[in-house]
Every structure is written in structure tokens, then in C-alpha cells.
Amino acid sequence: MSTPAEKTTELSDSLPNIEAVAASIHQRKVKANRDRGIFSEKLPSGEELMVPFEQLSDVAQAALRQPTTNVYQAIDDVAEADAFSQRGHILTEGENKRFVLIHAKSDADRTPEERTEYAELMKKRTS
């Protein structure tokens, strides 16, 4: 089982660079905050966030990059499930949603019930 960071699909490979997207999101948030009269936002460590992305510490950049990484991983999960469906391995909409949710977890993080359900859904998808 691959970890979420190891999962890639052609779709995610075609998406923009995560770093560039995270920087753009940060820039938009800073502008929105300033437009609302908010000129300071700090991490618990005291680091100011209302500066350009490139001026942030590696720790702050990593924290701001994580939501973008999560979205890219979710896109991969959904694209993978859709790819199976398009190849004729059809699950019901509810089964597909459950598969995507369970698939996103590492095997170690799945409950015994989820492992059983995942195995059954995999079997159904590949039969």
C-alpha cells in the first residue's frame, strides 16, 4: 500500500506545482485579510504570517503547503476511483465514496472493519 505522499496519477502530475499553488493561496489570504483591516497574523511561535510566502520560515511554508497537498491527494484518490469506474469496474455511488475514504488511509490507520470492507470493495472492483 502506498502512502498518500507516494500516490500519483496522471491527473496530479498535470496539476500546477504545489509550492506555487500554496504561495498563491497565501498571497490571496494576505490580501483578503488586509482588505478586511487585518494586518497581523502570527503562528503560536510568534512568526508573522502577513508577509510574502518566500519570506516565511520553512516550518511556516510547510504548514501552509499542507492544505494544498491534502487537496492534491484527494484529487488523486477520486481520480483513481473514477479511473476504475471508467474501466468497467463499477461500484455504487455510496460504495465508491466509502472506497475513496478508506483508500486514503494507510493500512495501519484502517480499523479491522475498514480492512474487511476495503478488501471486499477491491474484490468487487476487480471482478
- Residues near 110 by Cβ (< 8 Å), separated by ≥ 6? 102, 118
Domain that holds residue 63: 12-69
Residue 81 lies in a domain: no
The C-alpha cell 463499477 sits at: 90
Please write the tens of the pLDDT for every residue from 92-107.
778 878 888 888 888 8
Residue 17 lies in a domain: yes
Residue 108 lies in a domain: no
The C-alpha cell 474484490 sits at: 123
Number of domains the chain is built from:
1
Residue type at 72 in one-letter notation:
Y
Residue 109 lies in a domain: no
Q: How many Cα atoms sit within 13 Å of 75 on the Cβ side?
A: 16
Residue 54 lies in a domain: yes
Q: Which of 26-35, 93-102, 104-113 has the highest mean pLDDT?
A: 26-35
Q: Taking the model in full, what pTM does it have?
A: 0.57
Residue 47 lies in a domain: yes
SS3 call for 33 = helix
